[in-house]
Structure 1
Amino acid sequence: MTAKPNSLTSKVHNLQVPELLAPAGNWECAKAAVENGADAIYFGLDKFNARMRAENFTEVDLPELMEFLHLRGVKGYVTLNTLVFPQELKDAQQYIRSIISAGVDAVIVQDVGICRLIRHISPDFPIHASTQMTITSAVGVEFAKELGCNLVVLARECSIKEINKIQQQISVENSHQKSLPLEVFVHGALCVAYSGQCLTSEALGGRSANRGECAQACRMPYDLISDGEIVNLGDRKYLLSPQDLAGLEVIPELVKSGVSCLKIEGRLKASEYVANVTRVYRQALDNVIKDIPDIPENQQKTLIKKGNQEHYNLEMAFSRGLYTGWFEGINNQELVHARFGKKRGVYLGEVKQVGREEITIRLEAPVKAGDGVVFDCGHPERKEEGGRVYGVLRKGKDTILRFGKRDLNLRKIHIGDRIWKTSDPELDKQVRQSFASEKPQFQRPIFVELYGELNENLVAIARDEIGHVVQVKSSITLVEARNKPLSTERLQEQFGRLGNTPFCLGELKNHLEGELMLPVSELNKMRREIVARLEELRTQPKLWKINENASLSDLLPVKDSLILPSPQLIVLVRNLKQLEATLKAGIETIYCEFEDPRKYKQAVQIVRQSSHLQFSNYSSPNPSPQIWVAPPRITKPAENWILQQVRSSNADGYLIRSYDHLRYFAGENCIGDFSLNVANALTADYFKNRFGLERLTASYDLNINQLEDLLKSAPSQWFEVTIHQHMPMFHMEHCVFCAFLSEGIDFRDCGRPCEKHQVKLRDRVGTEHILQADAGCRNTVFNGTAQTGAEYVEHLIKLGLQNFRVECVNETPEQVTQTIHLYQQLLEGYITGSQLWRELRLQSQLGVTRGTVVS
């Protein structure tokens, strides 16, 4: 497969061709990506990467892997995209030095502290802000830039309209300097939750997605319970499992948006998947670039219709259904079909008749002997019937599929069952052939200029597409041609013989003066020398600057030995009745997180009136309570109106949950919430001292040992810890209320069922998880079982921790009062953590687990 001359660096009508970035979980996947046209690959090592279940590479592999990639004109990016705990920072420091020394092209990072450490070690090594950093706005891009990042991978939830708005805003903000390039995912599995904000695996099994151990709870079935009753959704059970992303048809719009990179998801996928999907997008991207000037704007789509070869290839590679995701805006009826959460493939049709070892269907896609199929009876959680097709017989408009004896249990196949093609051995063979050979299949262009005149040497200047230049001279001089002079066509033929090399001939310019001749053997020798010298240049490791004296200790904050006051209990409430109960319980610091921020004014009023009454009551020992309010966790480009509503409440302070909030509430009293993912002292120091936050909520990914390490590595008064909560598991753009309790596609036509119904999601073990919406129509699924860290409170107090948080979700005022009372007794030393645990266990209406602090 030969690259087109303009495949990487050319511009069409001022449009920069985006880089095509493919996943590689192992060596075979890396080769599959290279041979099918990837401009770059991304891969993990055996630590600190968000796909720990992949085979991955090691530090020892890096020099050889980078030499292979660079020889082929492909970049290599290492994923260091997990949170890093305090005791791991030294290992991370060594990892970073190894990565930089190996000539890796960039590292993809989630952890703010790790970004700081990389930039401290090297002033020029490229850092890509991972999608795990949850960047959804121009403010987020600017945050990444100030942190030292060189590129931002936007959240998958950004539409093309929002991408264009972000591009416009960052261009205005950086009018005098270059703005950061943006990367977007274009194909692959869609996480239903915002990357970096999913705590489901952590909550349910202690396997954090922020640590590369996602257990894919979003792909499981759930019952929808509305106001205490199960909603009959028929065969729709997979309420949180989106279709797979396929951005093929919107590539023209993505190119015009100016994004610098299109990224394919799939480091856990096989090499055939990588080869198949990479080739489809390579060809589509090249065709779009070629065709954009000639196609009317309203028709600029690489149409991906059911039945065409590209769509077929992508479905056979891996498919839970293909959809454009959020690129074209929110459509809650399309994003999640909810009928299955696992790979299907190509839809063949429905069963019309069941015979002896044969099934009659009305065919909707091609099928042939040898293909594998599965029969879908609407219960994907059960073992499904399937097997290889032995024969295909056309009978009018129907098709009869024949199977081997005893391959199928025909009693489990029914009329109306859907049939999916899950395997196409012929396609698999074609795909494997694309990367099985030792001979390069995908060649990148070189551009040659030839100069010479009579009795002088022939001079060839060759350039590759990434800027390497070599000059080669013939060892003998040019002579006058008696026949067959060195025409442009002859020169193209000789210099184009690059079959076993990484190169193909792009443009050749002939500047020879007169009709001249040189032996073919000399031309071949020059061609071979050009190839050898370009290969040598390309395989030289990149030399990034490294500060040999830079040390992790340079960035660590200084621990002090302040004498701290008594510990305080902070309570977060989610409605006004909970707020009133919390005030009556004498809580001095209250956080409010309401679905409707307009109600914050009333909440502030209630607290201020309570404060006035306390002030009038001279016998009251409590100081005036403070109220802090929380904006929604995510802010999109057009949503500042929500932040305006939050600030108009004139609360005592604000919970900071994203990079947008850091800027919008600058100068106010601010506390960093858990969603900032503060997991180590480097991150804590950045948020505390760079942005002046009063304190920080420790990441919910930390267990007791890691919390202890955090408190020992930074001043303990910087932090608060949530010791009782219903873990916020999924935080997502997908609105379950809209998708399954309305026929609308978004907030404009859904009828706002979130305001009318109390909804829960019941999982396979019977736990009912609480569903709530926010002002931006984003949904959060809270764990139906509360968790407590009560048994570790005494130890945390000894470590200097002063601020302990209790979070309410849907508790009644009586339950709120009861819970607060127990934790007050705990902090005052009247009961132990074990006693509190037993008391909460007795309150069966609450339910409680020791949760993630223990694990």
Structure 2
Amino acid sequence: MNRIKRNTIELLAPAGNWDCIRAAVANGADAVYFGIENYNARVRAENFHIDELPEIMAYLHKYHVQGYVTLNILIFEKEMNEASKIVEACIDAGVDGLIVQDMGLVKMIRDISPDFPIHGSTQMTVTSSEAVEFLKPYNLEVIVLGRENNLKQIRMIADQTDVPLEVFVHGALCVSYSGQCLTSEMLGGRSANRGECAQACRLPYDLIVDGEVKEMGNLAYVLSPKDLAALELIPELIESGVTTFKIEGRLKSPEYVANVVSKYRKAIDEYLAGRNYKPSKEEIRELQQSFSRGFTFGFLKGTNHKQLLDGTFPKSRGVYLGTVKKVLKDAVLCEIEAPLKRGDGIVFDAGRPEEKEEGGRVYDLRKKGKKIDGEVKQGLVEIVPGRHDINLTKVHVGDKIWKTSDQELEKRLRKTFETEKAFRLFPLGVSVTGSVGEPLKTVWHDEVTNNYVTIESTVNLEKAIKRPLTKEYLEEQLGRLGGTIFELSQIEVDLKEDVIIPVKELNRIRREAVDKLLLLRQTPYRYQKNQVETINSTRKQSKKEQSLYPSLISLCRSLEQIEASCQTDVDFIYADFEFTTDYPKAVQIARAYQKPIALATPRIHMPGENGILHGIIKASPDAILVRNLGAIYYYQQQNVTLPLIGDFSLNIANSKAVDLFLERGLSRITPSYDLNIQQMFDLLEHVPEEKIEIVIHQHLPMFHTEHCVYCTFLSEGTDFTNCGRPCEKHRISLQDRIGMIHPVRVDIGCRNTVYNAIEQSGAEYIANFLNAGISHYRIEFLEEDAKKVQEVIQLYREALEGKRTGTSVWKTLKATNQLGVTRGQLIKK
């Protein structure tokens, strides 16, 4: 069995169920990605069972379509063995690749198999060529770039690496960087890094500017982006070096899959054929009809914060029809901008999407009271709703009207995949040889997979008295491939003399050849596979001894906090400033107090931002707090000898990941905030405790986003070049539905972080951590003044020295009692 080779340009479709798989295959997808049970980033999708893998892969490979399994979540320590079983099942079933987020899982897969394909998920937050190079030792087959990379940056990355690059081209956009959103966990205990996103970005928020609520009219959905639609950008993306175009939507319908895949298939094929292609208005409308919150290019054409979101609604609307001109007794008058017909679904939008909206089916269309048959393309029309669907007393002049469904379109899309037939035909070449007294020998060549089978007749050829086998006759008989996935493309005949053979024998040869070629397509490819006795770290466990001299670290976000911290007995200072140009001053203050100081990198590293990383070196810190893969690679290439400390944003959730990052040169690491307290202790059983740093006090960073709220709502500009820097003059916070006010802060790259309103404390578990041998503890400040900084440091120092209980710390501070994003359970002995 030859492994399917990746197409030069690959169209990758989502599949949440079998109908979606069929829809993707039928409409031209080169590959399909799908989840297995709960171990993927869409646990709300139907997903598939592990024992379905062989059947799925056989079906896909029958049509020469690749199948990728999504294992794109963080894996906790006690789940590693279960994850290894999924990996082995995927290897055995001939899965074409695993889409992976967790670096520990990457290491585990490479321990199991050196050649099984790994795809780096967008959840890895890879946004620069340095991050791509960091991953090179693990031989990833393809890397999915962050949705925030623009065309120029994609080209820069592609020019500096030979690793195939994948980008999202259609579907829902996350406002936060994938892999860097902790909001669902913080607000609802549902981890986005575990496939349980609660879509907090789709909720309404009030904008608080300098402590006052800003009047925003009906703009309440300030973090809810439109949907990505890059159909028009296919040529530019191909020319920028993109090799795989990914469609989002494992929670979407098979009709959505059929619709979107067919449109992008056409766009790619037209470009590859050398033809200029621009989608029609009708094609765009059909895409909108399947699912749309309004379309945007996202960041692909560059940053334009004004175009990224609408702000007035958070859900799919469909196609915009127009506004209500007049409400009649049994109808509404509207000047429509898009086609409408009987049976279409509509909804009336009064600008209050959080309330129940009037909607239903169109019963009739009229012009000046006269019924119209068929579809109305545009113009003034009276829309008559179904009698029991819509209460016209609740519809008002000025309400927007949206076409939410089109039954004819859905029926047409269903027809593409509903009937099981040969969705695609593949060319076969046949060569025929033989002579009297010998079997007829046929060699069949599957020209797509390059598989060959040889089928001989069970009876010998006889000399023909009349009607000998001719090329035309053999082409007719052997080419009867109707009902199969093959079609005869060419036939070569080399018969030494006039011969004959029964037609039923030719039929048998043809059937056997097709069966064997199908079997070859569907036989799983055999990857190399090692025997791995244990998945957890094999490190010999030394007896954990209580840390006698715990180190207390203060992370500061202002010079005032730096100075206040230096005046305490804190052991180490971290500086994490909005503007890294102030880092030299922070180092100067720390030096004056003889305190060691580390400087934090930004959480994201984009092409062209190495100057920021170099500036950190020039400031001469004692260590660097690294927050992304690109920064690690950059500093190692610069031969930096300073200790590199890995932060929470590296998403380290298991001992395999700890091992990987320590092997790559980090001095110590901070576990992911996705771990609850029990999961943290499960991890600590398998790692060197002296290499672990625990954050025990902080305002949790919930969203981390390229979208700038300051630019969008406090400026007439579109990006940092023309916004006027309102972030330097004002402070914005977001107030949620229950009145909690979450600060929004900007970093040197103009990215926004939304912090949780209330600080959280892990002080209650300090005694447990000390007993486990942990010696590095971090507390993080956000907006605290000098007095508060010193009070917090004193409380935690007393707790570390056993002079105060952890419970008294968080109660004194009125903090939330939890560690990371979920509190979890810890059995105290």
Normalised by the size of structure 2, how large is the TM-score?
Answer: 0.92
Distance across 2 between alignment mates of 1:750 and 1:484: 80
1:40 aligns with 2:31: yes
Secondary structure in structure 2 of the residue aligned to 1:713: coil
Q: 2:345 aligns with which of 362, 372, 376?
A: 372
Which residue matches 1:620?
none
Measure how far apart 1:232 and its partner are: 2.4
Which residue matches 1:670?
644
Moved more, 450-459 or 357-366: 450-459
Contact 2:260 / 2:287 at 8 angstroms: preserved in 1? yes
Distance across 1 between alignment mates of 2:45 and 2:128: 31
Cα distance change of structure 1 residues 549 and 236 upon mapping to structure 2, 3 Å threshold: closer
Which residue matches 1:299?
none
Contact 1:120 / 1:550 at 8 angstroms: preserved in 2? no
Letter in structure 2 aligned against 1:399: V
Q: Deviations over 1:88-109 (max 9, x none)?
A: 1122222222221222121111
Secondary structure in structure 2 of the residue aligned to 1:362: strand
Distance across 1 between alignment mates of 2:513 and 2:314: 52
Which residue matches 2:583?
600
Contact 2:35 / 2:47 at 8 angstroms: preserved in 1? yes
Distance across 2 between alignment mates of 1:9 and 1:564: 54
Q: Deviations over 1:438-494 (max 9, x none)?
A: 223x2142242546699795745422423323345677589799899745xx88776
Q: 1:807 aligns with which of 780, 788, 791?
A: 780
Moved more, 780-789 or 224-233: 224-233
1:122 aligns with 2:113: yes
Distance across 2 between alignment mates of 1:823 and 1:563: 17
Cα distance change of structure 1 residues 704 and 36 upon mapping to structure 2, 3 Å threshold: same
Q: 1:446 aligns with which of 427, 440, 443?
A: 427
Which residue matches 2:610?
640
Distance across 1 between alignment mates of 2:715 and 2:194: 36
Which residue matches 1:426?
408
Measure how far apart 1:327 and its partner are: 1.6
1:679 aligns with 2:670: no
Q: 1:731 aligns with which of 674, 697, 704?
A: 704
Which residue matches 2:728?
755
Q: Deviations over 1:118-158 (max 9, x none)?
A: 11111211111111111111121122221342221111111
Structure 1 gaps, min length 5: 1-7, 11-15, 171-178, 296-301, 612-624, 842-846
Cα distance change of structure 1 residues 558 and 468 upon mapping to structure 2, 3 Å threshold: farther
1:463 aligns with 2:446: yes
Which residue matches 2:195?
212
Contact 2:171 / 2:248 at 8 angstroms: preserved in 1? yes
1:393 aligns with 2:366: yes
Give the alignment of 1:489-638 within 5 angstroms: 497-504=480-487, 507-508=489-490, 526-553=509-536, 556=539, 558-559=541-542, 561=544, 564-611=547-594, 625-638=595-608
Measure how far apart 1:599 and its partner are: 0.5
Cα distance change of structure 1 residues 581 and 31 upon mapping to structure 2, 3 Å threshold: same
Cα distance change of structure 1 residues 315 and 435 upon mapping to structure 2, 3 Å threshold: same
1:382 aligns with 2:355: yes
Q: Deviations over 1:535-570 (max 9, x none)?
A: 111111221221125532565564454664322221
Which residue matches 2:827?
none
Secondary structure in structure 2 of the residue aligned to 1:274: helix
Which residue matches 1:832?
805
Q: 2:264 aligns with which of 278, 281, 305?
A: 281
Cα distance change of structure 1 residues 815 and 516 upon mapping to structure 2, 3 Å threshold: farther
Distance across 1 between alignment mates of 2:302 and 2:60: 36
Measure how far apart 1:634 and its partner are: 0.8
Contact 1:556 / 1:681 at 8 angstroms: preserved in 2? no
1:402 aligns with 2:384: yes
Cα distance change of structure 1 residues 394 and 464 upon mapping to structure 2, 3 Å threshold: farther
Distance across 1 between alignment mates of 2:693 and 2:71: 27
Contact 2:546 / 2:771 at 8 angstroms: preserved in 1? no
Distance across 2 between alignment mates of 1:322 and 1:731: 22
Distance across 1 between alignment mates of 2:200 and 2:540: 38
Measure how far apart 1:705 and its partner are: 0.4
Distance across 2 between alignment mates of 1:350 and 1:521: 68
Contact 2:462 / 2:499 at 8 angstroms: preserved in 1? no
Distance across 2 between alignment mates of 1:575 and 1:110: 33
Q: Deviations over 1:670-697 (max 9, x none)?
A: 1110011111111111111x22322111
Measure how far apart 1:763 and its partner are: 1.1
Distance across 2 between alignment mates of 1:147 and 1:364: 52
Which residue matches 2:223?
240
Measure how far apart 1:364 and its partner are: 0.7
Distance across 2 between alignment mates of 1:838 and 1:378: 43
Which residue matches 2:395?
413
Contact 1:557 / 1:685 at 8 angstroms: preserved in 2? no
Q: Deviations over 1:279-337 (max 9, x none)?
A: 222222222211x2x54xxxxxx3235x32x2122111111112222221211111112
Secondary structure in structure 1 of the residue aligned to 2:242: coil
Cα distance change of structure 1 residues 563 and 231 upon mapping to structure 2, 3 Å threshold: closer
Contact 1:357 / 1:404 at 8 angstroms: preserved in 2? no
Which residue matches 1:329?
302
Contact 1:113 / 1:680 at 8 angstroms: preserved in 2? yes
Secondary structure in structure 2 of the residue aligned to 1:552: coil
1:159 aligns with 2:132: no
Measure how far apart 1:730 and its partner are: 0.7
Secondary structure in structure 1 of the residue aligned to 2:13: strand
Give the alignment of 1:137-286 within 5 angstroms: 137-170=128-161, 179-286=162-269
Measure how far apart 1:743 and its partner are: 2.1
Q: Deviations over 1:715-755 (max 9, x none)?
A: 21111111111111111111111122112221111111111
Structure 2 gaps, min length 5: 369-377, 825-829
Distance across 2 between alignment mates of 1:323 and 1:454: 66
Normalised by the size of structure 1, how large is the TM-score?
Answer: 0.89
Measure how far apart 1:425 and its partner are: 1.2
Contact 2:337 / 2:379 at 8 angstroms: preserved in 1? no
Secondary structure in structure 2 of the residue aligned to 1:595: coil
Percent of residue pairs identical: 47
Cα distance change of structure 1 residues 664 and 271 upon mapping to structure 2, 3 Å threshold: same
Measure how far apart 1:369 and its partner are: 0.5
Contact 2:544 / 2:772 at 8 angstroms: preserved in 1? no
Which residue matches 2:628?
658
Letter in structure 2 aligned against 1:224: L
Distance across 2 between alignment mates of 1:522 and 1:707: 68
Secondary structure in structure 1 of the residue aligned to 2:135: helix
Letter in structure 1 aligned against 2:76: F
Distance across 2 between alignment mates of 1:332 and 1:707: 38
Contact 1:452 / 1:478 at 8 angstroms: preserved in 2? no
Q: Deviations over 1:143-198 (max 9, x none)?
A: 2221342221111111222111111111xxxxxxxx32222212111111111111
Distance across 2 between alignment mates of 1:634 and 1:833: 34
Distance across 2 between alignment mates of 1:329 and 1:509: 53
